[in-house]
Chains A and B, each alone.
Chain A
Amino acid sequence: MYKNYLHTIDDKALLQQFYATQNIECIGVLLERYATLLFGTCMKYLKNDDWAKEAVQAIYVKVLQDVPKYQIDYFKSWLYMVAKNYCLQCLQQKKQVSPLPESDNSLNMVYEQCDVELLEQQDKYHQQLPLALNSLNSSQQVCIQLFFLQKMSYQDICIQTGYTLLQVKSYIQNGKRNLKIWFDKQVKK
């Protein structure tokens, strides 16, 4: 009953309830409410499903530790700042750890070999591209052609087609995914 009640009240009331009772379930309900937004924001900065999931889990712990320490009035804005700062911190740490040595000859040879294979594969893909494009719906076809073949920017595509920026990004993303599925099917045949 009490848990159901917590789900019905707004963020401000939940925070007040927490500061009055120290019941951690209140923060749990708040975090559950913002899980999708947290995951999406972490995906934007970290660009990897697993890293984003780990980041959200770490943010959960941080929030559970920090909320009792501070008086928070606007939970959503505060949570957004915490998430963004955490992701930027992660990116900075990854940058410090991951630079590849430039003068590693053996690695370069492997990359070159891969490049040759990749180029051969790309040639095949280019030949089949018109067929593959026909398998997409019209919005995806238009956006893919404008973005990859005519090298137009997202903004220019928005102006030309009348779609919103998110629509363009979505059509390109889904078009890419459908093209990949189509090419995978061809390879299996």
Chain B
Amino acid sequence: MNNVDAIQQLQQKWMNDATLFNKMIAGNLSESEWKELDILCAEDPFFKDTAEGLLQINNPEALTLHLYQLQKHLKQTISKQTSKRKKLYTFNLTWLITAIILLLLVSFAVCFILFKNH
């Protein structure tokens, strides 16, 4: 396993396990976890800013609450946008079907009149 893979694995570990950042805020990380975080911060400015930002949170439990609220908000935003798109799709489909039926009716009518005249 090369260095890049190892760092990617570390990133996955820290992103998937929210308790690690909670532990960091509470100052309860083990020596090896501190080292992992240090490596991540040296490699990735996104992690560095995150660690520095989260250290400013006063209450270790607050992070869990904030993330829960953000997840809820994200789900609401996604479902709103999805239902908007669905509505737009249904609306467009209805108009398309109506236009085809109208076109067919008009062509039938024209054909019928031409046929009758001849």
Flag whether A177 is at the interface (Cβ < 8 A).
yes
**Bound-complex Cα distance A177 to B62 (A):** 14
Set of chain A residues within 8 Å of B45, measured between Cβ atoms: 80
The answer to whether B77 and A61 touch across the interface, beta carbons within 8 angstroms, is yes
- Nearest opposing residue in chain B for A171, CB measure: B27
**Bound-complex Cα distance A140 to B70 (A):** 32
Interface residues of B (CB under 8 A from A): 15, 18, 21, 24-27, 29, 34-35, 37-38, 41, 45-47, 49-58, 62-63, 66-67, 69-71, 73-75, 77-78, 81-82, 85
Flag whether A112 is at the interface (Cβ < 8 A).
no
Interface residues of A (CB under 8 A from B): 24-25, 27-28, 31-37, 39-45, 47, 49, 52-53, 56-57, 60-61, 64, 76-77, 79-80, 84, 139-140, 164-167, 169-171, 173-174, 177
**Bound-complex Cα distance A165 to B62 (A):** 23
**Bound-complex Cα distance A75 to B22 (A):** 25
The answer to whether A28 and B54 touch across the interface, beta carbons within 8 angstroms, is no
Add 4 more A-B contacts to A47-B56, A52-B53, A164-B35 (CB < 8 A): A24-B85, A37-B15, A44-B56, A167-B34
Output the least CB separation between B50 and chain A (Å): 3
**Bound-complex Cα distance A31 to B71 (A):** 9
**Bound-complex Cα distance A25 to B79 (A):** 9
Set of chain B residues within 8 Å of A53, measured between Cβ atoms: 66, 69-70
**Bound-complex Cα distance A171 to B58 (A):** 12
**Bound-complex Cα distance A115 to B62 (A):** 31
**Bound-complex Cα distance A140 to B27 (A):** 9
Set of chain B residues within 8 Å of A173, measured between Cβ atoms: 27, 55-56
The answer to whether B85 and A56 touch across the interface, beta carbons within 8 angstroms, is no
Set of chain B residues within 8 Å of A171, measured between Cβ atoms: 27
Output the least CB separation between B61 and chain A (Å): 12
Set of chain A residues within 8 Å of B34, measured between Cβ atoms: 164, 166-167
The answer to whether A34 and B53 touch across the interface, beta carbons within 8 angstroms, is no
**Bound-complex Cα distance A139 to B28 (A):** 11
Output the least CB separation between B107 and chain A (Å): 34
Instruction: List 7 contacting pairs A-B, 8 Å CB cutoff, sorted by A.
Output: A43-B54, A44-B50, A77-B46, A79-B46, A164-B37, A166-B55, A174-B26
Set of chain A residues within 8 Å of B26, measured between Cβ atoms: 174
The answer to whether B53 and A41 touch across the interface, beta carbons within 8 angstroms, is yes
Most buried by B among A36, A42, A80, A164: A36
The answer to whether B46 and A57 touch across the interface, beta carbons within 8 angstroms, is no
Q: A36-B21, A49-B66 are in contact. Are A64 and B49 (CB under 8 A)?
A: no
